[in-house]
Chains A and B, each alone.
Chain A
Amino acid sequence: MKTLTPRLRSLSSKQSLLQHHVQQLPIGATAALSSHITTTATTTSGTTRPFSVLNRPPPNYPGHVPLTGLERAALAVGSGVVSFFDPYRHDMIAALGEATASPYFIERLRRAMLSSRTGRRILRDRPRITSASLDLPRLRALPANTVGGTYVAWLDREGVSPDTRDGVRYIDDAECAYVMQRYRESHDFYHALTGLPVVREGEVALKAFEFANTLLPMTGLSLLAIATMKPAERGRFWSIYGPWAVRNGLRSDEVINVYWEEEMETDVDALRARLGIETPPDLRDIRKRERAEKKRLKEAAAAQAVAS
């Protein structure tokens, strides 16, 4: 089941508490500017300090943009609306994920990683999944039943590349930002692991699985896209893929803790068995059969119309 571990007072947070008290001393003209409309920002590893948009704290990692609470709320609402109406805006979906993950959910995911030996190794090594870091030709040479073989076959079949992922910018803690980045880059592996295609229906099903497994709010909010699916797709979601996603997401291990770079040569079924994930019905097959059936019915109706 989900590890909802309590937040532990670590040594680092004690140190940053001390820093927080020291830094409350006034620091000249800029303090006057940042008086009224202020909110909090992380300093090094945890505690926050009020800041104004005119005086943002230095970034904690390259690309970091510290946001005030109001800005984060506005980004969450705005990116939610835009990504609902235009799901091709990946940057908006990414921004929605980052804006809604703080403060609790991304911390919970990080604690889940810290609770596992492999998770801790991933956090220490901080591997990145890009077309540069993965050796795609080597993966193509692997057998089709391995994780690497399935992944690259899926990449080729769907026509996507491992590079189409934005960098995390709006999560203040650098390690939590890495956790979010890792989740984002592993998303393609979740596709390969579950076999769900990149069509809207497959993405929604995968998001339901991710929500049950990672508890990130964006994955849950993405399920609002069920409203944009066709009736047949919606029916399949409620009867097949939704229950599959919830059942498997909850009972399986945390997929964030899979060290994908080391699992390239593992047999996919063995990995699924190890994680506790059952393969869902092949969605592409179902859709193909449904399209063929519709076509057959249309042709029959046309023939009938001609005959009568």
Chain B
Amino acid sequence: MAARIPVTSAGVRVSTRCPSFPFVSSSSRHLRPFSTTLRNRQPELTSTSTTSSTTPISNNGASSKSSSSNDSSRTGTTHFGFQDGLSESEKTERVAGVFHSVAESYDRMNDLMSFGWHRISRDHFVSSLNPGLSSSHPPRPQRILDVAGGTGDIAFRMLHHAHILNNNPSVHVTISDINPSMLAVGKQRSLSLPASQQASLSFLEADATAPVPAIPAGSLDLYTVAFGIRNFSNVPAALSEAYRLLKPGGVFACLEFSKVANPAFDAVYKRWSFSAIPLIGQLVAGDRDSYQYLVESIERFPSQQQFRGLIEDAGFVVGGDGFENLTGGVAAIHKGMKPL
């Protein structure tokens, strides 16, 4: 039984959010290019996403990952989840579609998929960076850029850490994201911050893989990207751009999903990712395909060692292992410094 709501003559469904219940209703599904509920307007999206989901995960994928990121700089093709052979602009467009569609339910879905653990990972990431720490009086100003941080998770934590814990009000954070929907969510959430922190926050819509004109070269103290870099169409280009924007001695820090070390845990984790995550996406957000892409993109991302290699290739100096595994490798923090 579908107690159906009327459709306007333009064929766009009116939003009906059920306020007393946490499940997101299918209000914006018609606007999502990825959803099969759309009347086969882009059938190739649904067919290719499911053919991609049936590609077996084998160890061959790991060795092709570093070569695929090298390939993209040579042939201009990249991958979208398990689908290969896309141009960078196509990938950018497809990722935009995914994040337009998940923006509203992003936080709730993160909580459901990781049982709230993503909050711990993000807290640890920001604490380990210790933004705003300065031994001089008055404290030195710092400029921070949080890339692909549209909803503001990392930026808000950094502002709190700098302004409140390190008592350094001259820290400025810029949130950059290629997707205006995610930025809109971030702007909305930033309204509940204290006024001093809001004054130190700015938003920028930009592509991280291309030169960002709004930020002068060599001006950043810290460049962060959390759970975003695997979606970039050209990771080496983004790393080069990060290198260009940072000042000498500036730090590049990346929090991203990575390879789990323990094989038994990995077996469970992979099965959870590929069967439960898309199912939760379908039940809660009404969008299986976006979450299928998300777990595929995690699978395609380079391993800790390979990504460390990419960071060094961009010119950063990497100390020790170069990465810190969180939750047994489910996520990893990579850091590099621009040499002085």
Interface residues of chain A, those whose CB is within 8 Å of chain B, are: 29-30, 33, 36-37, 52-59, 62-66, 68, 70-71, 74-75, 78-79, 82, 85-93, 95, 130-131, 158-161, 163-167, 169, 198-200, 203-204, 206-207, 222, 225
Binds A, one of B2-10, B178-186, B221-229: B2-10
Complex CA gap A93/B37 in Å reads: 12
* Nearest chain A CB to B1 CB, angstrom units: 4
Measured between alpha carbons, how far is A167 from B56 in the docked complex, in Å?
Answer: 25
Q: A204 vs B1: C-alpha distance in the bound complex, in angstroms?
A: 6
**Can you list 5 A-B contacts (CB < 8 A)?**
A54-B270, A63-B43, A91-B282, A166-B36, A169-B288
Chain A residue with the shortest CB-CB distance to B58: A29
Segment 14-51 of B: residues with Cβ below 8 Å from A? 16, 18, 21, 23, 25-26, 29, 36-37, 39-40, 43, 46-47, 50-51
With an 8 A cutoff between CB atoms, is B286 at the interface?
yes
A82 contacts across to B, CB distance below 8 A: 23, 283
Most chain A Cβ neighbours within 10 Å, of B40, B51, B56: B56
Question: How many A-B contacts if CB must be within 8 Å?
Answer: 138
Question: Residues of B contacting A89 with CB < 8 Å?
Answer: 23, 25-26, 286
B11 CB within 8 Å of chain A: yes
Taking CB atoms, residues of chain A closer than 8 Å to B6 are 158-160
Give bound CA distance, A85 to B24, whole Å: 12
- Dominant secondary structure at the B interface: loop
When distances are taken between beta carbons in the complex, the residues of chain A under 8 Å from B137 are none
CA–CA, A53 and B273, complex, Å: 9
A55 in contact with B54 (CB, 8 Å): yes
Residue of A nearest to B6 (CB): A159
- CB-contact partner of B29 in A33, A70, A91, under 8 A: A91
Interface residue from A56, A68, A198, A222 paired with B54 (Cβ < 8 Å) = A56
**Could you list 11 further interchain pairs (A-B, Cβ under 8 angstroms) beyond the known A63-B47, A66-B54, A166-B37?**
A58-B51, A74-B279, A75-B279, A88-B5, A91-B26, A93-B2, A131-B11, A163-B39, A167-B46, A198-B3, A204-B1
User: Is there contact, CB below 8 Å, between A225 and B5?
Assistant: no
Within the assembled complex, what's the spacing in Å between the Cα atoms of A163 and B270?
36
CA of A131 to CA of B7, assembled, Å: 13
Q: Is the CB of A59 within 8 A of B54?
A: yes
Interface centre among B4, B25, B40 (most CB of A within 10 A): B4
B13 at the interface (CB under 8 A from A): yes
Chain B residues positioned under 8 Å from A88 (CB to CB): 2-5, 16, 18, 25-26
Contacting residues, chain A, for B63 (C-beta < 8 A): none
Does B73 touch A at the CB level, under 8 Å? no
In angstroms, how far is the closest chain A Cβ from the Cβ of B325? 22
Contact in complex: A54, B11 (CB < 8 Å): no
**Please, which residues of chain A bring their CB within 8 A of the CB of B279?**
71, 74-75, 78
Q: Is B196 an interface residue (CB 8 A)?
A: no
Q: For residues 270 through 322 of chain B, which have their beta carbon under 8 Å from a beta carbon of chain A?
A: 270-271, 274-276, 279, 282-283, 286, 288
CB pair B53–A62 under 8 Å, yes or no, is: no
Are B56 and A86 touching (Cβ within 8 A)?
Answer: no
B57 on the interface (CB 8 Å rule)? yes
A78 touches B283 (CB 8 A): yes
Chain B positions within 8 Å of A70 at CB level = 275
* Chain B 51-84 per-residue mask, 1 if CB under 8 angstroms from chain A, else 0: 1011011110000000000000000000000000
Question: Across chains A and B, which 9 residue pairs bring their CB atoms closest together, nearest first?
Answer: A159-B6, A203-B1, A62-B47, A53-B275, A56-B54, A63-B46, A222-B1, A30-B56, A200-B3
Beta-carbon contact of A53 and B21 below 8 Å: no
Cβ-defined contact, A90 with B21, below 8 A: no
Query: CA separation between A194 and B310, bound complex, in Å?
Result: 65
Verify A160–B56 contact, CB threshold 8 A.
no
Contact: B47 with A200, CB < 8 Å? no
Check A64 against B7 for contact (C-beta < 8 Å).
no
Whole-angstrom CA separation of A143 from B56 in the bound complex: 56
- Nearest CB on A from B62, distance (A): 13
Contact assessment for A169 and B3 in the assembled complex, using a CB-CB cutoff below 8 Å:
no
> Which residues of the other chain, A, contact B271 by a CB distance below 8 angstroms?
37, 52-54
- A-side contacts of B16, CB under 8 Å: 88
Task: Provide the bound-state CA to CA distance between A167 and B50, in Å.
Answer: 14
Residue of B nearest to A128 (CB): B40
